[in-house]
Amino acid sequence: MSDDDKLPALRKRISSIDEELVQLLEKRAAIAKEIGEYKKSKGLPVRDWGREQQILKALSEREVKLLHPADLEKVYKEIMGACRHLENLEEKVGYLGPEGTFCEIAARDFFSEAGNAFVPYDSNWQLFRALEAGTIDYGVTPVENSTQGTVTETIDLLLDSPTIKICGEIEVKVHQNLVVNPGAKEKDVEVIFSHPQAIAQTQKFLREHFPDAKVKETFSTSSAVRQAKETGKSCAAIGSELAAKYNGMEVIAHAIEDNPNNQTRFIIIGRIQMRPTSRDRTSIIFTLKHEPGSLFHALEVFSRHSINLTKIESRPARHLPEIWQYNFFTDFEGHADDGRVKAALDELRSHTMFLKILGSYPMART
């Protein structure tokens, strides 16, 4: 075969494989539709998160020579989303907006584009109310950052909500960028807008490059980019590349965060209880009795049942009338339906004044 013939021949082979793939996807979609109809006839939930997580987990463990496992996972998310779309099962996913926030990036990474509509909300409060009202099916919101800690507003809203549960989580590597109006240079910048957390994450960069610039806080990095655009060439913003793209702005300094390991953990919230997947996390909030050694005895419960705590943090107990009472927000490995976790929670209740399970859900794959 001559060199002139090689490329057309390879492309012909690709076309043949594409044809096979389409036929196989059609077969998969037909079976998925049949399963959906069966579930409806039996009154079962059409979407099975546990099953989806099992499929994605099996893919992540599969040995592939050329494809990156993360890319393979994204492909399968879209396949499953397309199958749901076939059954007119489009779901609405809300996120803390506006468009271009890291929260939108997390939402689009976790959910498929196919079969889902993404809706931005101006505040966490609005996001939670929309979910409680059934306006959206799921929500995505930040719960903690690796350098700035817990997002306390999210924890308080979870505590106050009677129906919302944590259904999943995703960790996103956060890269902050200096965003300017087209054609603007560093020397033109006099004012920088951004969210307080983004400002805190880029202190070293700001001191070295903009010691005399005025730094102004906004309620999101995306709104900061929009405000910089509206204000003019002398204004810049710290935000995501996606926000810059949405607003027709330019990034002149990439990854300006002080800590290269800057990550944010986002939670997926909904109104359903997730089934065990063998790799789960449970989040709870509890308030201790005023007794000597109460915290020790509470934590000893987890040790005795061989449960690994991954987070514990105290917050003022706003829901109790007494002052100087504290809630303990705790994450641990395992599902609330697991035998040893059930036993531990039952025992923990005897040491607490209040205990709420915020959700058991599949752990983020890292």
Mean pLDDT on 94-101: 89
pLDDT of residue 320: 64
Query: Cβ(265)–Cβ(366) under 8 Å?
Result: no
Same domain, 42 and 117: no
The answer to the question of residue 99 being in a domain is: yes
Same domain, 58 and 70: yes
Distances 167 to 8, 53, 72, 276 between C-alpha atoms, Å:
48, 12, 23, 11
Same domain, 181 and 169: no
Q: Where a domain ends, among 270, 296, 324?
A: 270
Query: Cβ(165)–Cβ(272) under 8 Å?
Result: yes
Count the neighbouring beta carbons within 10 Å of the beta carbon of residue 132.
Answer: 15
- The structure's pTM equals 0.81
Same domain, 288 and 309: yes
What angle (nearest 5°) sits at the alpha carbon of residue 76, between those of residues 72 and 79? 145
Hey, which residues does 192 pair with through a beta bridge?
215, 236
Q: Where a domain ends, among 43, 61, 86?
A: 86
pLDDT of residue 1: 60
Domain span at residue 100?
91-174+263-270
Q: How far apart are CA 167 and CA 270, in angstroms?
A: 6
Assign residue 55 the CATH number of its domain. 1.20.59.10
Number of independent structural domains in the chain: 4
130-166 tens-digit pLDDT: 999 999 999 999 999 887 788 888 999 999 999 999 9
What distance, in Å, lies between the first and last C-alpha atoms of the chain? 45
Q: How far apart are CA 34 and CA 21, in angstroms?
A: 20
Same domain, 286 and 358: yes
Mean pLDDT on 192-215: 94
The answer to the question of residue 151 being in a domain is: yes
Q: Where a domain ends, among 200, 235, 270?
A: 270
Same domain, 99 and 128: yes
Query: In this model, does residue 331 exceed pLDDT 70?
Result: yes
The answer to the question of residue 115 being in a domain is: yes
Same domain, 192 and 207: yes
The answer to the question of residue 290 being in a domain is: yes
pLDDT of residue 319: 65
Query: In this model, does residue 206 exceed pLDDT 90?
Result: yes
The answer to the question of residue 258 being in a domain is: no
The answer to the question of residue 275 being in a domain is: no
Same domain, 22 and 66: yes
Assign residue 300 the CATH number of its domain. 3.30.70.260
